[in-house]
Structure 1
Amino acid sequence: MSLRDAIDNFYERLVQDAIDATREASDTADFLTDVMCVALNRLPARYYRHTIDMMFYLADEELKEMKANSLAAVKQAREFVREHQRS
């Protein structure tokens, strides 16, 4: 196992949840993948090794703010990707 496989970015989970919450019937897998990439690039990285560590040390207010930031980033990313779709 490589060291890279031992860590994750907590925002990936939050952005995925925000994408699921804003999913539209016309969304394709390619579109949503682009949205996820754009949204994650607009957010800071929050790396962790074990999920329990993030949940234990993260204050409720901080988690609430991270979720709101993720939702805002996804909404902005959806608009950006729509405006810049490949032909």
Structure 2
Amino acid sequence: MKLDDDIHNYYEHLVLEQIEKLKLNINKSEDYLADLCCLALNQIPPRYIRFEVDMSFYLPQSEKQQMEMNAINAVKHAMAYLDNNKKTEDA
């Protein structure tokens, strides 16, 4: 069994979804996006799964909504940190 192929953190999917929703994947550099993902994911406790379908069938709607809000907030905080840090470097 190879862990990196079989098991992943469901929050990775939610964070990437939020990045695409905000169109950051179009407007920001690869380095910014990599830093953003790391900062956002480090704010949220991991939720490991093997198959996406597991989350669809076995997760209550209220918990799924909470996880989506966790990802949204984590991305917002990570963006604020990166953007404030960039302003400091430019000064």
Structure 2, gaps ≥5 residues long: none
Letter of the structure 2 residue corresponding to residue 6 of structure 1: D
Paired with 1:73 and 1:36, the residues of 2 have a C-alpha distance of 9
Question: Where does residue 3 of structure 1 map in the other structure?
Answer: 3
Question: Where does residue 72 of structure 1 map in the other structure?
Answer: 73
Q: Tell me how many residue pairs correspond in the alignment.
A: 87
Paired with 1:39 and 1:29, the residues of 2 have a C-alpha distance of 15
Paired with 1:17 and 1:11, the residues of 2 have a C-alpha distance of 10
TM-score, normalised with respect to structure 2: 0.83
Q: Which has the higher helix share?
A: 2
Please say which of residues 19-28 and 48-57 is displaced more in the overlay.
Answer: 19-28
Cα RMSD, aligned residues only: 1.8
Q: CA deviation at 1:13?
A: 0.3
Q: How does 1:39-54 map to 2 (within 5 A)?
A: 39-54=40-55
Q: CA deviation at 1:26?
A: 4.0
Q: How does 1:6-85 map to 2 (within 5 A)?
A: 6-24=6-24, 26-85=27-86
SS of corresponding position for 2:28? coil
Paired with 2:58 and 2:27, the residues of 1 have a C-alpha distance of 38
4+ residue runs over 6 A deviation = none
Percent identity reads 38
Structure 1, gaps ≥5 residues long: none
Paired with 1:52 and 1:83, the residues of 2 have a C-alpha distance of 38
